[in-house]
Amino acid sequence: MGVCPAWEVPLADAEPRRATAVAPSNIALLKYWGKRDVRLNVPETGSISVTLAGLETQTTVAFDDALAEDRVVGTGLDTPTARSRIVAFLDLVRERFGVTAHAQVRTESNFPVGAGLASSASGFAALTLACDGALGLGLEVSELSALARRGSGSAARSFFDGFAEMDPGSRADGSDAFAHALGPPELLPVEILVAVVSEQAKAVGSTEGMARTAATSPFYRAWLDAARDGLPRLRDALLAGDLATVGPLAEESAMAMHAAMLSSRPPLLYWRGATVEVVRRVAALRDMGLGAWVTIDAGPQVKVLTEPAHADTVAQSLAEVEGVSRVLRSRPGPGARRVEPRVAGEGA
């Protein structure tokens, strides 16, 4: 990692050092569930994701010597842990780059937070890029990805346009555990439909859930083997732009992960009744010849991968399933980027 020596960062500034970044959410086509180092947040296995267009978090950070403590405002901060995770990340940035100032953080997501839509992915990617800009760190994208990983494993994948692969690395310090680009949004013609069945925050967060699965599921090792086996196959199919192969592999990955979750003690059951009904509906659509496959994260929402030509029909069918409150539509989109605040004068 290119660590910026403390003497390169101004020690006291009259003006706050401020920057704004936007980062998208992403969903894993090939999931990770389990950490090889919990403190450094290093995954056991690699993962492959699609960057979601239009599901974004905008974050402004201002490091200000006049502040006595960090101030965090915005959406998705209803739980005490959400705020403390951001402060812990700021502490990490301060320690690594020799910064003493506290920060004001304003973060806004345009999609439901805390229910399996990877708000932590977009949130920590945006926070990382905003910190980089505010402090003038000039980090490489691999360094940004590895740093964002400390906030949330999936955040490491939100920097890239289109599709990304997370490498678990092998170094004990986690410095080679970061994501890289797999290809632009056009690589795979696909629409991603999110059938929202509940907007309540999930009961068990992913860090606790992963630890429970690793400690108690008799299928944990088998799940890791399945993930390692599936990754190169899904990568090859993706690079060939072959949705008819990517779709089933993505569905298998999600189902194998949920099998490991369900076999944990006590079981991790993230699904609701409507989750099952959506899975059944997608299977029925497939029986009718429509290319559609499900993937599900640590929450009740079902994400459906479908051919763009069939997306309207599939979206309408999902909206008719009892218990589905709405269907969000997305496609592969752009990765994280620096922006000016949306409204002049807006900011932290």
Query: Which residues make Cβ contacts (< 8 Å) with residue 101, sequence separation at least 6?
Result: 13, 16, 17, 63, 64, 65, 67, 94
- Interface with ligand PMV (CB under 6 A), residue from 31, 36, 212, 235: 31
Cβ proximity to ligand PMV, 49 vs 317, nearer residue:
49
SS3 (DSSP) at 332:
strand
Q: Are 135 and 3 in contact (CB under 8 A)?
A: no
Q: Which of 302, 295, 301, 190 is nearest to 237 (CA)?
A: 190
The pattern of x and - marking residues 254 through 293 that bind ligand PMV according to CB under 6 A reads ----------------------------------------
Exactly one of 28, 86, 103, 126 binds ligand PMV (CB under 6 A); that residue is: 28
Q: Give the containing element (helix H, strand E) for 22.
A: strand 17-30
- The secondary element (H helix, E strand) that includes residue 215 is helix 206-216
* Residue nearest ligand PMV, Cβ-based: 153
Site for ligand PMV in 62-121 (CB under 6 A): 118, 120-121
Which positions from 187 to 216 touch ligand PMV by CB under 6 A, shown as an x/- string? -------------------x----------
Q: Is 297 in the site for ligand PMV (CB under 6 A)?
A: yes
Q: Which of residues 130-159 bind ligand PMV (CB under 6 A)?
A: 152-154
Kindly state the greatest CA–CA separation across the chain: 65
Q: How far is CA 72 from CA 61, 84, 142, 151, 186, in A?
A: 9, 9, 26, 15, 36
In this complex, which beta carbon is closest to ligand PMV, that of residue 23 or of residue 135?
Answer: 23
Give the residue with the Cβ less far from ligand PMV, 60 or 154: 154
Residues that bind ligand PMV (CB under 6 A): 28, 31-33, 47, 118, 120-121, 152-154, 206, 297-298
